[in-house]
Amino acid sequence: MRLAVTGSHRVGKSTLIEALEERLAEYRVVDEPYHLLEEEGYEFASPPSLEDFLEQLRRSMELLEEEEGARKVLFDRCPLDFLGYLLTHEDAASFDLDEWLARIRSTTRTLELVVFVPIEERERIKLPAHEDAELRAEVDEKLAWLLLDDPFELGVEVLSVHGSTAARVTQVLDRLGRGRPRESRPRGD
């Protein structure tokens, strides 16, 4: 299966991916575009500019295209992450969604499952004081809209996970049919 873990920053995506990597040893993890671009010498603005998010969107789509035939791949983020950031960016008015939508749709559809890690009532990761909590919440809300409401008819299956890392891992493994065997219970008449 080809799956991606998505969500706003500081929600536990990386922790979930590390835990899944331990349980799904046959899966190959593809690092998030931000880290790959940094390794390639790309310099991000602080805070990231619209162009920085466009570059991450481009790289994310390239990764999905490069890995199109590959099975058992776990992507750290997908194009929808960057679409969420682009649509909430202070310069969002200069982002031409129509120019990107067909390719976003076609690359995202190569995924069989998107695991969405939303912000929860009980914060699992403390947000540093220098981080913009309002932006994080806006991105989370935009991602929920993109993934769960599917306004652009992306047609990708989404699993929204909640709880501790262990609970999230169990939810993903259950969806993949890899959870612990359940006790059989007699069916009622």
Q: What are phi and psi of 160, to 5 degrees?
A: -90, 120
The predicted pLDDT at position 43 comes to 97
For the chain, what are the domain ranges? 2-175
Cβ–Cβ < 8 Å for 34, 58: no
C-beta neighbour count of 12 within 10 angstroms: 20
Give pLDDT tens digits for 95-139: 999 999 999 999 999 999 999 999 987 555 565 555 667 888 999
pLDDT digits (tens, 9 = 90+) for 32-51: 999 999 999 999 998 899 99
Q: Are 3 and 156 in contact (CB under 8 A)?
A: no
pLDDT score, position 182: 43
Q: Which two tokens stand for residue 55?
A: 């570059």
pLDDT in tens, 137-178: 999 999 999 999 999 999 899 999 999 999 999 999 999 997
What pLDDT, in 10s, does the model give residues 42-101? Answer: 999 988 999 999 999 999 999 999 987 788 999 999 999 999 999 999 999 999 999 999
Return the pLDDT at 185.
34
CA dist., res. 27 & res. 179, Å (int): 16
How much is the pLDDT for 125? 56
State the pLDDT at residue 68.
76
* pTM recorded for the entire structure: 0.88
CATH 3.10.180.10 assigned to 2-175: no
